[in-house]
Each structure stands twice: as structure tokens, then as C-alpha cells.
Amino acid sequence: MISPLRLRVFKTIRLLTTSASLQGSLATFVSYDLTPHIGTSFPDPLIQLSSFLKDARSSELIKDLATLVSHRGVVFFTNQDLSIDQQKQLMLKMGELTGRPKSSGLHKHPVSEDTPELGADVSIISSMGGIARAGVEVQSRASNGWHTDISFETVPADYSMLRMHTLPHTGGDTLWASGYEAYDRLSPAYQQFLEGLTALHDGNFFHETARARNLTVQDHRGSPLNVGDDLSATHPVVRTHPVTGFKALYVNRSFTTRILELTKEESDHQLEYLFRHVSENHDLQVRYRWGRNDVAIWDNRAVLHTATNDYNGDRQGNRVVGVGERPFLDSGSRSRREALAISF
């Protein structure tokens, strides 16, 4: 249990850093913001997400949780007792209560196994054979791993939830970066240039992973539009978030391969700049050191993330991913800094 002293400290931090208007029904819980732009932690293990599903205010709590995640990018909970079924229920409710299309459900990753224990819509994030280290090269930049979940799908992810149940002795942190702040940090002229562009997101390298592991690529992956063998899609370079209304940069090094309106040389140059813009600006990132059974919930429309592959031994968790809507850019939408009058 968390100590009374730490509770007092966390309560003080929450009063100083967290906007109650974003918390809604969650404002009664101890929480604090990890950085100004991204990440909020609920450190008290007495706050259990499983209880949200049973509470008389269940819909209010879950909707406020989803809204907070959409604004803060990623939210963390300590030492959770969520079952796999409860993870799925919570993920479905978060999307349902924030306007997810009725045709969207839980994603089935192309190379996740359909196990009796977990089902086809749970991804095993594991250093011992799951998808955690697919395509990782030891002698390469750690920043090459930045990505947004399943952006190669026609209808990509909204929320993702990962409960990490097995950890190495040290290492294995995860980083998230704010797509809102990445957009806001660009010059107005560059923002305007990017807003007329679309990009190809390609995950067809998973076919090689499937062949190597003797797996069949899963079909009908959470939406009637996410079908077939072609794991690629075209999305706007800047998208509007349907919950917050904020603009976010929506390209990532793992899946984004080409800006379609540019020549290949122009595209390579622009994408390399944008990838480095995300990975090298540490002040729009948050780094999380996992505790056993901690849960992270993030919004793929607002953030990118990457694992830190600096460990040996077993590191495992179960991830559930919701499928959202087709990405769009609303020309009337605003940036996060503009909407909230942020000046720092």
C-alpha cells in the first residue's frame, strides 16, 4: 500500500499540476501529471480499474478516463488486478462512450496467436516470442522503434491498454511522445504545408514475421475495412482528434514510408526530419518505468511510443487495442496550444 506521507505528497502535486476540468469524476482520486505535455499517473494501488466496471458510476468513470487519456496522451495505474476479459470490456467501453463507430471493435494483430487463454484480440507483448521485439536490430538506433499502434490499417487504433505482468531485473522502460506537441512545435508555415499531405503507412513486413513463426496473418482485424493481406493504408500527415478536436502529427518511423504528394527524395527528407523531431525533443516525451502489473492506457491518435530494448530475460504483458475511426483532418480544428492558450 502507498504510505500516508506519499499520499499527502501526491495530493499536493495533483493540486498543483492536474486540471480538475479534465479529470471529471476521476478528480477525487490521487493523481499527478508526469510532464506538462503528456502523461498522468494514478499511483495509489487502491484505485483499481476493475472496480470501474462494477461501480454505479461506471459509464461516467470510464468516459472521463477515456477523455483524460485523449487529452494527456497516456495514463498509468499501479499494480492492477484486471483480468483479460476486464481489459477487453474496459477497452470496448472507452471507445463506445467517446463515439467509436459501431463497426469498430477490438483489433486482431496480424501476427498475434489466437490462444484459448487470451483470444485473437489480445497481443502478447513478450521478449520470449511475442511481438515486443519484432524487427528489432540490436546494432541500430533505439529511436527507430517509435510507432503508433497499427497505423498500417485502413481504420487504425484509438486506445491501447497494456498490463505488464512480468519484468526483467532492470530496463525495459517505455516512452511515449505527444503528437499534439509535435505538431505545435512546428512553424505555422510548415504546419500549413503538412496539412495538405497524405502518407503511406506500411506493415507488410509482418508477413515475413508470420512466415518465420509459421503463423497465418489474421483477417478481419477489428473493422470491416481492415481485411485482406495488404497491410498498408493512406492517412493524413496531420489529423484531427475526434474527442479533443486538437491537431496532431500522424507519422511514425516504424510504419510511415512515403508522403504521396512528394517525390521520393522530397518525401524521405521530410519524413526523416519529422521522425527526428519526435525522437529528439525529449520535452514532448514521457518515460515510464514499469512496476509489476502496472497498466498504461494511451491514445494512438495523440501519441507515439517505443519500448527500450536494454534488458535481458523475460518481459511480458498483455495488450488490448481498440479500433477507432478513419483518420481525418478538419480544417476548422485547432492546435492544442491554441485551444488551451499554452505559452510555455
pLDDT in tens, 194-231: 999 999 999 999 999 889 888 888 889 999 999 999 99
Give me the catalytic one of 37, 72, 147, 336: 147
Nearest to 145 by CA among 174, 167, 123, 169: 174
Question: Which pLDDT score is estimated for 117?
Answer: 74
- % helix / strand / coil in the chain, to the nearest 5? 30, 20, 45
Any catalytic annotation for residue 71? Answer: no
β-pair partners for 320: 161
- Please tell me the predicted confidence (pLDDT) of residue 4: 45
Rounded-to-integer distance, Cα 90 and Cα 307, Å:
24
State the catalytic residue, choosing from 107, 235, 305, 315. 305
In contact, 135 and 205? CB cutoff 8 Å: yes
Among this protein's residues, is 277 annotated catalytic? no
Q: What are the extents of the domains in the chain?
A: 4-340
Q: pLDDT per residue over 274-300, tens digit each?
A: 999 999 999 999 999 999 999 999 999
Residue 249, phi then psi, degrees to nearest 5: -70, 135
Rounded-to-integer distance, Cα 137 and Cα 128, Å:
16
* 165 is annotated as an active-site residue: no
169 is catalytic: no
pLDDT value of residue 184? 98
CA distance 31 to 168: 26
Tell me the per-residue pLDDT of 10-45, one tens digit each, with 9 for 90 and over.
343 333 344 556 889 999 999 999 999 999 999 999
Domain 4-340 belongs to what topology? Double-stranded beta-helix (3.60.130)
Q: Is 79 exposed, middle or buried (0-12, 13-18, 19+ CB in 10 A)?
A: middle
Q: Which of 239, 241, 319, 336 is catalytic?
A: 319
Write out residues in the chain with pLDDT < 50, as ranges: 1-18
